[in-house]
Amino acid sequence: MEELIAMVLTALKVVIFVDVIASWVLPDPSRFPRNITGQITDPLYAPIRALIKPEKTGGLDLSPLLVLVLIQFMESTLHRGF
């Protein structure tokens, strides 16, 4: 079970990186691959964006970074054991 969770967390990190890089190259979120990555990442980003609005940080969206930090924390907790 731990291996499955670790694989899912790794896959999420890859999707987040693809989404971030694609957002620089393809700002239109309705185009491929952003339409797919957005469906996965937007629900993860939404609670953070509700607390820290990009408009208040000069247009910089910190939600991908904070989600990655949370995933890293989850991975370290998983490796230490429950």
- % of the chain residues with pLDDT over 70: 99
What confidence tens digit (pLDDT) does each residue in 30-43 have? Answer: 999 999 999 999 99
Q: What is the pTM of this model?
A: 0.90
Mean pLDDT score, 48-74: 95
Q: Is the pLDDT of residue 9 over 80?
A: yes
Question: Residue 46: which of 58, 54, 36, 56 has the closest Cα?
Answer: 54
Whether omega before 33 lies within 30 degrees of 0, making that bond cis, reads yes
Token duo for residue 30: 């309705």
Burial of 79 (0-12, 13-18, 19+ CB in 10 A): exposed
